Amino acid sequence: MKTYVERFEDLGFGMFVHFGLYSIYGKGEWAKEICQVPDEKYFGLVKKFKVTKNWAKDLVKTAKDAGCRYITLTTRHHDGFSLYDTCGLNEYDAPHSAAGRDLVREFVDECNANGIVPFFYHTLLDWYNKDFNTDFPKYIDYLVKSVELLCTRYGKIGGLWFDGMWSKWDEDWQEDRLYGTIRKYQPEAMIINNTGLSELGKVGHPELDSVTFERGKPCKVDNSDRHRAGEMCQILNDHWGYAKNDINYKSVKELISDLVDCRRYGCNFLLNVGPCGNGKVKVLDKAILTEIGKWVRANKGFIYEARPCDLEAENAIMLKGNGCLYAVVDAPMASDPNVALGGALKEVNLGTEIKAAHWLDNGKKIKVKNGKFTVEPFSYGTSLIKRVAKIDL
Ligand code: GLC
């Protein structure tokens, strides 16, 4: 039987969603701080937070099309606004906004109806609750009660993803109490706490089930005391929350390479979208995720179940899973001048005898001799960046 941490690793690829009042501004999730929006003005945005009926449907469909198996939604971000019903903790939540309903409930229902595992991002840093700066222990009581609501009112969840401890490293966050609350109600929920850009991959509190690599490149996870997962998150452009003037998009090639880099070390890849103020995902974001989804579908055996292995091959990243090996290679196109002019194609040397192999993207057999094979280029009209060879042992 797999543990919940191993099952999380099998999810492989997730979608991060930054959505909240800041989405109305369209200047990223830090707009309040960076643009110095006065409190009354910013908190007044609740009156403008009109969210379309089908926002959760739209989101879950986008994730499914991309081949994501889980979604991590910002249930509360640094501005302190909750997408869930705080049940009286304050009135700064979605039910008291123009949306007039519990958006986390809609999100969870839609995920469950579509076989997507719901995860909750939750801020630790808070710009709304004054206790955060004046009475920290009181703030922690509020935080724990908030998390308790998330753990008890929405059925089984995939995990909690905290962020913002880096704002006050020296304070007593009462981590034992916070994580203990999650374990009490959701014993199999992943507990993740974003270490921030300066502490990539660092193991924090022992209760944490995964390390984070933020936008940094993943590497081997420190599993010296117990099995722990790793997760890298990435933005499509330069902001997590919707930023209407941000056109600095990464290429599909870069994002697929990030995904492969993650799986190479058994880490998950969490790719972000920032829906607009009404909850709709931008057409361009959807298009990018759909293209990634095509690659993921063509190589699906490798994306979810394959794990790093000790085998070292020349010119290939090696993984194992489902009783076979996978070799991931960079493949040129047949029209690449190097190839067209009879230049040498890369040879993969597995260093071991094998039975048979085929390409995952088109099912074609690969001729292997003495554990070696030549990377077949993509035919003209096709350029999928990376090819995965499935190797029977
Ligand atoms: C940083 C940012 C935050 C964002 C997070 C995503 O911590 O402060 O806005 O949600 O990264 O990883």
Cα 150 to ligand 1 centre (Å): 20
- Concatenating the DSSP letter of every residue in 110-176 gives HHHHTT-EEEEEEESS-SS-THHHH-HHHHHHHHHHHHHHHHHSSSS-SEEEEE-GGGGTTS---HH
Q: What is the model's pLDDT at position 329?
A: 95
Mean pLDDT calculated for residue range 102-112: 98
Ligand 1 touching residue 72 (CB < 6 A)? no
- Rounded to 10 degrees, the C-alpha dihedral 13/14/15/21 comes to -150
* CA 50 – CA 54 distance, rounded (Å): 12
Residue 212 has pLDDT above 80, yes or no: yes
Q: DSSP strand E in the chain: where?
A: 13-17, 70-76, 117-123, 159-163, 190-194, 210-212, 229-234, 268-273, 307-308, 317-321, 324-330, 347-349, 356-359, 365-366, 372-374, 386-392
Q: What percent of the chain has pLDDT over 70?
A: 99
Q: Is the minimum distance from the CB of 270 to ligand 1 under 6 angstroms?
A: no
How buried is 130 (Cβ within 10 angstroms: 0-12 exposed, 13-18 middle, 19+ buried)? exposed
**pLDDT at position 297:** 95
Tell me the CA–centroid distance for residue 321 and ligand 1, in Å.
Answer: 33
pLDDT for 240-287, tens place per residue? 999 999 999 999 999 999 999 999 999 999 999 999 999 999 999 999
pLDDT tens for 113-138 read 999 999 999 999 999 999 999 999 99
pLDDT, tens digit (0-9, with 9 covering 90-100), for 153-190: 999 999 999 999 999 999 999 999 999 999 999 999 99
CA distances from 242 to 25, 229, 239, 265, 338 (A): 8, 28, 7, 30, 42
Pocket lining: 29 vs ligand 1, CB cutoff 6 Å: yes
User: Which atom from ligand 1 is nearest to the alpha carbon of 196?
Assistant: 7
Q: Name the one residue in this structure whose structure tokens are 């501004």.
A: 25
Cα 25 to Cα 218: distance, rounded to the nearest angstrom: 32
3-class DSSP assignment, residue 95: helix
The reported pTM is 0.97
Q: What is the pLDDT of residues 330-352, one digit of tens each?
A: 998 888 888 877 777 789 999 88
Taking the C-alpha atoms of residue 122 and residue 87, their distance in angstroms, rounded to an integer, is 17
Q: What percent of the chain has pLDDT over 90?
A: 84
Ligand 1 centroid–CA 373 distance in Å is 43
pLDDT of the residue at 242 = 98
The finding on whether 163 has its CB within 6 A of some atom of ligand 1 is yes
Task: Give 69 Cα–ligand 1 centroid separation in angstroms.
Answer: 21
Hey, whose CA ends up nearest to atom 5 of ligand 1? 163
Does ligand 1 have an atom closer than 6 angstroms to the CB of 240?
yes
Q: Whose CA is nearest to atom 10 of ligand 1?
A: 240
Question: What is the reported pLDDT for 200?
Answer: 73
User: For residue 267, which phi and psi values (nearest 5 degrees)?
Assistant: -90, 160
C-alpha 163 to ligand 1 mean position (Å): 7
233 close to ligand 1 (CB < 6 Angstrom): yes
Q: What is the distance in A from the centroid of ligand 1 to the CA of 219? A: 20
Q: Is 162 in the pocket of ligand 1 (CB under 6 A)?
A: no
Residue 169 to residue 147: CA distance in whole angstroms: 20
Maximum CA extent, the chain: 72
Whole-number pLDDT of residue 29: 98
The candidate with the shortest Cα–Cα distance to 296, out of 66, 60, 59, is 66
- Please tell me the distance between residue 380's alpha carbon and the centre of ligand 1 in angstroms: 41
Whole-angstrom Cα distance, residue 75 to residue 160?
Answer: 10
Average pLDDT across the chain, whole number: 95
